[in-house]
Structure 1
Amino acid sequence: MRREPGLSVRLKLTLSYAGFLMVAGALLLAVVWVFLLRYVPDGAIMALGRFVPNRSDLLRAFAPAAVGVLGFLLLFGLLGGWVLAGRMLAPLARITEATRMAADGSLSHRIRLPGPEDEFRRLADVFDAMLARLEAHVAEQQRFAANASHELRTPLAITQTLLDVARNDPRREADELIERLHIVNARAIDLAEALLLLSRADRRSFTRESVDLSLVVEEATETLLPLADKRGVTIETSGEVGRTVGSHALLLQMTTNLVHNAIVHNLSERGAVWVTTALHPRFVTLTVDNTGAVLSPRLLSTITEPFQRGTQRIRDDHAGVGLGLAIVKSIAHAHDGTLTIAARPAGGLRVTVHLPAAHA
């Protein structure tokens, strides 16, 4: 937006200081003038053989002095106001410079304004916190873009390789090629749908309604029971009715992702998953525990980022696309909730989602 050039804030403050000082000086001189007039007669008189000045004489003597005083106050107000305004606005200059650097793409710069707690200090601290969040968000988005590009390129490269092999080897069976292309294409579609779902949750573009988490858990676990039976994992559900406000489809997707991850990233034999819902005065919780490998704290700090997996990279028909917990985190935040992940001492994870209760 183009704006007409105007006076600087420092000049405005200077003029304000000088104007206030001039008004205060003029009022003071007016008071002195009124006070003197009370004791000066209108005409010239003689008292005890001496001449007593009248009001005309007082005006001729007082006016030049008053003009000189006002001129001095004007000069003093301009100079003093300019210096004081500069000192007062010095922190604002640092904040402006930091803002300009951030606009140019430098998010690592911090103001770190020294001095006591005041309006400028609070503004600088809030701006530093905002820059820190922006820097972390941009870094996360850059990693997401790089990982998404890699994940999208992989099925395309595999498809290209299969087609090249089929073209160079006409004797290769078409059914095998079609089956492999179908698997690769299905994975690419799953990845694209997961990216769209993640974007939808981030935009919060959904209709809110009352949702019972316990019913959502039942629906998700029933859908995933065949996968659990195939992998030899038992699922136990428990808890109480807990209603929240949000999108039933997104909350079902969130629960399905949590249970799916708990089944896939589990022990190879005799694995277990526990899904619990609980109602509290102001929020409801969904907790998913599973057995599995012992995870390091470093891995836990990045496990909710897109395309991060809890254990080694799994390549089978239920591997997922690496967006499961990222989608869970995004859906929880879109519903004004929080996601907490902790490693179980015996191995595996405990994932807890806190959502506002419907009555709250």
Structure 2
Amino acid sequence: MSSPAAAPKPSLLSWRPRVTARARLTIVFTSMLLGCGLLMMGALYAVMKYVPTYAITSAVTPNSFKPSDSNIAPLQTPPAQVPASPNPDDGKNGSVVVRSVHDLLSVLLESSGAILAVVVLVGGLISWIVAGRLLRPVHEITQAARKAAEGSLDHRVGLTGPRDEFSELSDTFDSMLARLERSFAEYERFAANASHELKTPLATTQALLSLAADSPESTDTRLLISQLQDTTARSVDTVTALLELAEAAHGELQTEEVDLGKLVGECALGLRAEARAHGVFVETECPVGYVVEVNRILLSRLLDNVLNNAVRHNIDGGKVTVELIRQDGIVRLIVVNSGAHLGADELERITEPFYRGAGRVRVPGQVRGNGLGLALACNIARAHGTELVVRANPDGGLILEMELPLAMAKAKSKAELARV
């Protein structure tokens, strides 16, 4: 059996030094400074060489010309300029003697070069400091991303300072971490609740079977079968709801044109018997003719869940109102039910899977929900490109709203986009 080939080691020729973004920015800034300095130096040299007209002459020193005693009269014209003798003080104390244009341009070039070298060095140091300050938010975001990768989602960048691209990136990253933290917390609760919901009927089934196995003579077979059927049906309902929840969140929709008013009427009609059993009055104001393009099966499940939730968690003698309102190419579905007053924390978590608030314990003779109704309804709404908004009813209970585009308005917008 041959051993797996070892990964090739990087050769020295292929190795390249790691150049950080700070170093690259420093190199870019310094190169720009050097380029601008060289350009100015060249322009200044060219101007000083070609633009002025120089008339540099040697000065006559006092000792270089003395009239003799034989001169009868003073000169009427200035004496001719003669080369000056070297001054013994020239070049001392660091001074530079300029006797010609060449000397002047040489001094200009050497001085400019020295000054440029100092400016480039100082500019490079300043560029390094400025680049570090500019990239500091990136390092903070990197640290937050590294902590998030290690599983710590409660860390935030919290960048302060002027509103710029880095602050926008920081705020976006913080909001993403907040959403991830909420999602993971909901996932953990979902996993724990799903395990509990599936474990309870299985444990009940195991207990019934163990009891029947220990004393088969005294076991009522019909009662045992009925109890097993109830617990099995509960498990099947929970698993079915979980599958529908996943499908609504990630599946592709097969849509068709559906009269929303007729569909709501059918769902409300199927709920009459349970509403009468709970003493709840259901009132619908859903005119026909509001055609929407949806998945009929999933939307029916959404309506069933919402209406069942409104009836089962109502009060004796309560009321459920279902209304459709057409407005600007959309139709709004509004479901209002009476019931107990809900707190802010309960209202925030009421759409989470398996969440059951106060008053949702099992009562003999009533159908117990699996806590997935509103969660499934919210996922179905998102699959249709909308949101199921849940608000507290000031008089107690809930108000649920959802908007869907009318099929005619949707087709018209698609046609306009096609023309563009």
Quick check: which one's strand share is greater? 1
Q: Could you tell me which residue of structure 2 aligns to residue 200 of structure 1?
A: 247
Partner of residue 43 from structure 2, selected from 31, 41, 65: 31
RMSD over aligned Cα atoms: 2.8
After TM superposition, give the deviation of residue 39 of structure 1 in Å: 5.1
* Residues 6, 249 of structure 1: alpha-carbon distance in 2 compared, 3 angstrom cutoff: farther
Quick check: which one's helix share is greater? 1
- Please tell me whether residue 176 in structure 1 is matched to residue 223 in structure 2: yes
* Residues 271, 4 of structure 1: alpha-carbon distance in 2 compared, 3 angstrom cutoff: farther
- Please tell me whether residue 278 in structure 1 is matched to residue 328 in structure 2: no
What residue identity is the alignment partner of 1:260? N
How far apart are the structure 2 equivalents of 1:155 and 1:105?
33
Q: Which blocks of at least 5 consecutive residues in structure 1 are unaligned?
A: none
Count of aligned pairs between the two proteins: 357
* Residues 24, 294 of structure 1: alpha-carbon distance in 2 compared, 3 angstrom cutoff: closer
Aligned-pair identity in percent equals: 39
> Is residue 58–residue 99 contact of structure 2 (8 Å, CA) maintained in 1?
no
Alignment of 1:28-177 (within 5 A): 28-38=40-50, 48-49=81-82, 56-58=102-104, 60-171=106-217, 172-177=219-224
Q: Per the alignment, in what secondary structure is the counterpart of residue 163 of structure 2?
A: coil
After TM superposition, give the deviation of residue 139 of structure 1 in Å: 1.1
Q: Per the alignment, in what secondary structure is the counterpart of residue 271 of structure 2?
A: helix
> Is residue 253–residue 383 contact of structure 2 (8 Å, CA) maintained in 1?
no
Alignment of 1:207-222 (within 5 A): 207-222=254-269
After TM superposition, give the deviation of residue 167 of structure 1 in Å: 0.5
Of stretches 285-294 and 100-109 in structure 1, the one that deviates more from structure 2 is 285-294
After TM superposition, give the deviation of residue 334 of structure 1 in Å: 2.4
> Is residue 214–residue 242 contact of structure 1 (8 Å, CA) maintained in 2?
yes
Q: Per the alignment, in what secondary structure is the counterpart of residue 388 of structure 2?
A: strand
How far apart are the structure 1 equivalents of 2:123 and 2:251?
55
* Residues 49, 159 of structure 1: alpha-carbon distance in 2 compared, 3 angstrom cutoff: farther
Query: Larger Cα Rg: Structure 1 or Structure 2?
Result: 2
* Residues 293, 86 of structure 1: alpha-carbon distance in 2 compared, 3 angstrom cutoff: closer
> Is residue 331–residue 405 contact of structure 2 (8 Å, CA) maintained in 1?
yes
Normalized against structure 2, the TM-score is what? 0.77
Q: Per the alignment, in what secondary structure is the counterpart of residue 338 of structure 1?
A: coil
- Please tell me whether residue 249 in structure 1 is matched to residue 261 in structure 2: no
> Is residue 265–residue 286 contact of structure 2 (8 Å, CA) maintained in 1?
no
After TM superposition, give the deviation of residue 107 of structure 1 in Å: 1.1
> Is residue 333–residue 403 contact of structure 2 (8 Å, CA) maintained in 1?
yes
Normalized against structure 1, the TM-score is what? 0.88
How far apart are the structure 2 equivalents of 1:26 and 1:244?
70
- Please tell me whether residue 353 in structure 1 is matched to residue 386 in structure 2: no
* Residues 38, 294 of structure 1: alpha-carbon distance in 2 compared, 3 angstrom cutoff: closer
How far apart are the structure 2 equivalents of 1:49 and 1:22?
44
| Cα-to-partner distance string for 1:159-192 (whole Å, 9 max, x where unaligned) | 1111111111202122211111111111111111
Q: Per the alignment, in what secondary structure is the counterpart of residue 331 of structure 1?
A: helix
After TM superposition, give the deviation of residue 244 of structure 1 in Å: 3.5
How far apart are the structure 2 equivalents of 1:6 and 1:180?
70
What residue identity is the alignment partner of 1:78? G
* Residues 159, 295 of structure 1: alpha-carbon distance in 2 compared, 3 angstrom cutoff: same
- Please tell me whether residue 321 in structure 1 is matched to residue 333 in structure 2: no
After TM superposition, give the deviation of residue 357 of structure 1 in Å: 4.0
